[in-house]
Amino acid sequence: MSANTLQALIFDVDGTLADTESAHLAAFNHAFAELGLGWAWDEALYTELLNISGGKERILHYWKTAQPALRELEAMALQDTVNRLHEIKTAAYESAVNSGAVGLRPGVLRLINEALAQGLQLAIATTTSPVNIAALLRRAMGSDWRLNFSAIGDASSAPLKKPHPQVYLQMLAALQLSSAQCLAFEDSSNGLRAAAAAGLATVITPTRYTAQHDFSSAMQVLPDLSQLDLAQLRLWFEASPRTAGVAATSARAEH
């Protein structure tokens, strides 16, 4: 098999596998109310905050912006509160997913099944937590959902968040494939930058939260995956100039 033949699909989760952000936003606001902070993020603010990858990082960034006079001596107490907020938020999000408030985006499950039927490997590369991934995919794919994925990288295994390529480099190593044999699926500019830094060609399916991002370096930008099949994906992949300089790009990302 050629070194440049498509052998694996690597999926982001939030916004890509499922349009989860409205449920995440509601869960954040639930956590803020639960601890009596008096915060309420609206959609416009949350859209801006999505430029910060990672839920805990997003809370901390907002808190320091809202209260720039926070003293370093308060750092430990601050982090404890951030951790507690994130625990409450995660539980609220999982409850929403379990109640059916979030489902996979159009075409995602069909493409996953087609890829598995044709012998491609699947992986997940996300900045979200393992419990969020499990809640979403358990409901969408069944209790044995994990068996469909050869490798999973998440917030617990890749502490350097996107746009850093750490999670993608970890997945390439776990799959034992080069970036010229894999294709990434993302919905945001941070995700695209992370995938590109790992040398990966990328298909973008924006949401209303990311529609204004710069996707000029993507292989394709689609409204969703409903009209996409593996045959078309292979044609785009084989025609992509991604292989030029792939090794150099990967080397720079690892340096």
- Condensed to tens digits (0 to 9), the pLDDT of residues 99-142 reads 999 999 999 999 999 999 999 999 999 999 999 999 999 999 99
Active site residue 214: no
CATH topology (fold) of 21-98: DNA polymerase; domain 1 (1.10.150)
Catalytic residue among 14, 19, 154, 187: 14
Which residue type occupies 85? L
Tokens of 75: 């750092």
Euclidean distance between CA atoms 218 and 203, whole angstroms: 6
CB 99 within 8 A of CB 135: no
Tokens of 102: 């979030």
Q: Please list, in sequence order, all residues whose beta carbon lies within 8 angstroms of the beta carbon of residue 255, skipping any fewer than 6 positions away.
A: none
Which regions of the chain carry the CATH code 3.40.50.1000? 8-19+103-254
Euclidean distance between CA atoms 208 and 193, whole angstroms: 19
Percent of the chain whose pLDDT exceeds 90 = 86
What pLDDT, on a 0 to 100 scale, did the predictor assign at position 124?
Answer: 98
Euclidean distance between CA atoms 172 and 10, whole angstroms: 9
Which regions of the chain carry the CATH code 1.10.150.240? 21-98
Residue 245 reports pLDDT greater than 50: no
What pLDDT, on a 0 to 100 scale, did the predictor assign at position 247?
Answer: 39
Residue 68 reports pLDDT greater than 90: no
Report the predicted TM-score, pTM, of the whole model to 2 decimal places: 0.89
The residues that bridge with 9 in the sheet, in sequence order, are 122, 183
CB 88 within 8 A of CB 32: no
Task: State the CATH architecture for 8-19+103-254.
Answer: 3-Layer(aba) Sandwich (3.40)
Active site residue 14: yes
pLDDT bin (cut points 50, 70, 90) of residue 248 is very low
Euclidean distance between CA atoms 174 and 165, whole angstroms: 14
Which residue type occupies 230? L
Tokens of 93: 């999000």
Euclidean distance between CA atoms 27 and 157, whole angstroms: 23
